[in-house]
Structure 1
C-alpha cells in the first residue's frame, strides 16, 4: 500500500503544481501585455489561398531583397522545401543583406543545431521565441508565438496562415491540397508590421536592436483601409466578441479549429437568435488529434440555433477569417479557438473596405462550394468511439 500512496501523492502534487504554475503564469502574462493596435492605415494587398503560388512569389521577393529580411514563423520544418528557404536566407546574408529569422521554440522544434549553425555561419541572425522559462514552466510551455510575419526592405510585408514545410505546398498526401489565406502587403502599414516583428525579436534575441528609420522607410499610401491588431493573454476574445456583437446581417467564420470560449459561443448564439445569419467553415479532415471532436459540442449548439456549418473537402482547410455583414473582414493568424484566444501570440489584419471584402468573399464562396453541409443528424448518430473522444477533448479543449 505504501508505493501506491506515494504515486497518488506525486500525481496530486503535480496537478497542484500545474494549477498554480498556469494560474500565476497567466496572471503575470496579462499584466505584462499592453493592448495595442494600429490606427486605420492604407495599403495594397494580394491574397494567396494556395501555397505554391504564395511561395513562388515569396521566394522571388526574398531573392530581390537589398537591405534587410525580417521573418517570424510559428513552424519551420527541416525538409526539402524548408531547405530551399534556408538556402535563400543564407545566400542573401552572404550578400550583405541583414537577415533575421525568429521561430517559435516548440512549433519549430524540428529545427536542429546543424541547421541553425549553418544559418548562423552564413550570417543569418537566428533566435527562438517563447522558450520555456522559469518560474512558470508549464504556462510558458503552452504560450506559443503563432504569428507569421515577413518584412522585406521595409517595403513588402507578408502575413497569414502558411508556415514553412512541405505540407504547405501540397506535398503531404493526407492534407493535400492545403487551403489557407496569406496576405502580401505594400503601403504605409508595412513599417507598423515591421515594428511588431521587432517587438518580438527584442524579447528573445540576444542582440537587441533599436527601431529606426532604416528599418521603416516612408511608404506611399495604398487604397485599402485596414489595421493590424496583435493579441495575446486573452485580449483576442474582446475583439472577436465586439465583431459578433455589432453584426447586423451575417457572420462568416473560417477556421481549422472551432473551439470558442464560453463568452464567444454565447454571443454567437445570441446573434443567431436575433436573426443574424451564421456560417461556419471547418475542415472535413483534421491535422491534429481530438481537435475535430472538441469542436462537435459547439457545432451542435450552433446547428440547433440555425447556423450553417460546412466541412471543406478539397484538401485540408487551415484558413482563418471572419466576415461581418459583407463590410468588414479579418484575415490573420488566429484560429477561432481557446488556444488562439488565451495562449497564443497572434496578429490579425482587419479590413474596412467593402470592395476588398467582396473580393475576399469570392474566395470564401469558392471554399464553401468545395465543402459539404454538416447536419445535426450527422453529429447525433450514436458513435461510442466519437463520444469517448469528445469527452477527452472537452476536458483538455483549452490546450488543443
Structure 2
C-alpha cells in the first residue's frame, strides 16, 4: 500500500537512516545521534533542548491553540555484532558500563524510529495548516536499559515542556512492511531482570566433601525455578521465567566458591509479577539452606520495565485514521506481546492515554498470508538478532506517514 499522497517523503531520509545505522550508540551514549537530531529539528523550526535525561532531545512546535501531542522515538542501540551483510552495516564498538569494549548494532531498529520521527516532524512543520495545537517530539535515550523514559521524567520533562494530552509512538517489527499492528489494553509485558549470587565454599575437585558446591546449588535452583510458572501461576495468566546466564568456576578440577545466575521474568499482571518475584526469593534462599551454605545468597535487580498499556479508546481513534489511509486489511492485532518497552512511563507520568503500534519492516515477499498466522513470523529475523535489518522501503514511508497521520488525528484544525 502506497502511503497517503498528502504526506510527502523526503528521499534524503534514506541516507539519514543508513548514516544512523552505521553509527549506533549505546544507551546514555547517544551523543552523535542527539546532535544529528537537534540540528534537523532546529532546521525544521522547532524549539530544541538537548541533554534532557542525560542524552535525550526534546523539540517543541507551537501552532496556535489546541491540545498537545507527544511523539516519541528511541535512539539507542544494542551490544550486538551485526551480521546482516548490508553495505551500510555497523562496524562500531563502544565501551559498556562495565568498561568492556563491545560491538554495537541497531539490531532493534531505533535508527529507523529516529529517522521516521525526524521525517514526520519536518512534514508537520511545513504543513501547519493541517493541524493545530502543540507538537512535542521526544527522542529518548536508553530504552534498551529500561531507564531512558524515567530519566526524562526525572529531569523535569513535564515541568520544562508542555504536558501532553496523548502519547504516540511506534516500534518496527518483523511484520510485512506496509502493515501496522496494535493491541488495546496490556500490550507489552512487564520485565524484571535479576542477578542471583549463590555463595558456597570452594575446594579441590578431588575433595567435594570439603565444599559447599555452588554449581550443584545453581543447578538445583535453575530446575526449581522452572516450576514457578507451571506450578504456581494460574493457567489463565501469562508469564515467562527464563534463566539466561549461569556462570561459576574457571577450572575442571576446582570447585568454585560462588555461582551467578541471571534471570528474566515477563508478566502482565502486578499480582502475578509479585508472586513470581516472591517465589524466586523463596527458592533461591531455600536451595541455599538445603545445600548448607553459610552465607546468604543475594538477589539484585538489573532492570525493570513496566507493563505497556494501550488506552483502548486512544488506539481505536488512531487506528480509525490508519484504516482510512492504509485500509483495514493492512491493520493487524498481534495480541499481547512478551517484549518490553518503557514508553508507557511517558504516558502514565503525564496522566495521558497511550497509543502505540508496531510498524511492519520486513520484506513482504517473505510472507504468504501476511497476517498474524503467517508461518514466516517464526523464521524471519526478529529484533535483537544480529541478522535483523528492516527494509528501508516502504518501511520509512509508512513510518513517517503513520506518525503524521496520528499527529493530525490528535491535533485537528478547528472545524
TM-score for the superposition, normalised by structure 2: 0.28
The structure with the larger Rg is 2
Higher relative CO (Cα under 8 Å, sequence separation at least 6) belongs to 2
Structure 1 or 2: more helix by fraction: 1
